Amino acid sequence: MNMKPVLLIAAAALMLGVAGCDTSKYGQVEQGKVIAFDKDAQIVTVVHDTNIDPSNPKYDKMPPVVFKLPANPKEIGPLPKVGQRLQLNLEEKKLEIYDAQKQTLVYIDIPDADVQKDIGKEHALVKDQSFPKIDSEKGTITVYSGRLKALCTFGIPAGYENYPPETWTTGDEVRIYFKPESGQAGTRESPFQARRFMNITQTNIYKK
């Protein structure tokens, strides 16, 4: 896929939205993390990043927004990895997740968190490893944050003993260009139709 047109159009649409232009005419851009993806139906669910800042994202807008992927395969980047872990705050020892059962954002205290920092993706502790690692016998979960370069182990929170691994997995960051049409609500029953879908996490925009 040629990513240059996607990047240019997405950037232009974002600027138009910020400038207060008529987005019904020029379209809109959604950016956030993927918390659900139905591959058969080609429907993706995203929690919006209100900061749109790679160094300081903020996933706090509810409800999640639902999109139907573009009909043209050439307008679709790599399909997304799903996860409900939205943010890991090492300083405050808090974890933000999207609780799929409660259908809401939940902020969990992890005071017992054991954190190892400066762990790059090529570090022996994480290279060729898959996360999260759930140890039922010890009652712990280990997650890795590439953005923070941190490996974090914490006790399984009370009430979350039987939650699936996706709860502690971070989903891909994506950018979606769309033009809302009459009758579309951005819900599972009435998803927005995406015109272009870019997987930021899995796309190297500098690759020639």
Q: Is pLDDT above 50 for 185?
A: yes
Q: Is pLDDT above 50 for 3?
A: no
Q: Which pLDDT does position 55 carry in this prediction?
A: 80
What's the rounded mean pLDDT across residues 21-40?
A: 85
- Kind plus residue range of the DSSP H or E element containing 6: helix 3-19
Quickly state the pLDDT bin for 174 (edges 50, 70, 90).
very high
What's the rounded mean pLDDT across residues 189-200?
A: 96
- Kind plus residue range of the DSSP H or E element containing 193: strand 192-199
**Total-model pTM:** 0.85
Write the CA distances from 57 to 50, 114, 138, 192, 196, integer angstroms.
7, 23, 32, 23, 22
Cis before 73 (ω within 30): no
What are the structural domains, with CATH classification, of the chain? 3-81+171-199 (2.40.50.320), 85-168 (no CATH)
More confident residue, 76 or 1: 76
Give me the DSSP letters along 8-51.
HHHHHHHHHHHHT--HHHH-EEEEEEEEEEETTTTEEEEEEESS
User: Count of H helices and E strands in the chain?
Assistant: 2, 12
Q: Which pLDDT does position 52 carry in this prediction?
A: 76
pLDDT in tens, 80-107: 999 999 999 999 999 999 999 999 999 9
What's the rounded mean pLDDT across residues 166-191?
A: 94
Q: Tally Cβ neighbours within 10 Å of residue 163.
A: 18
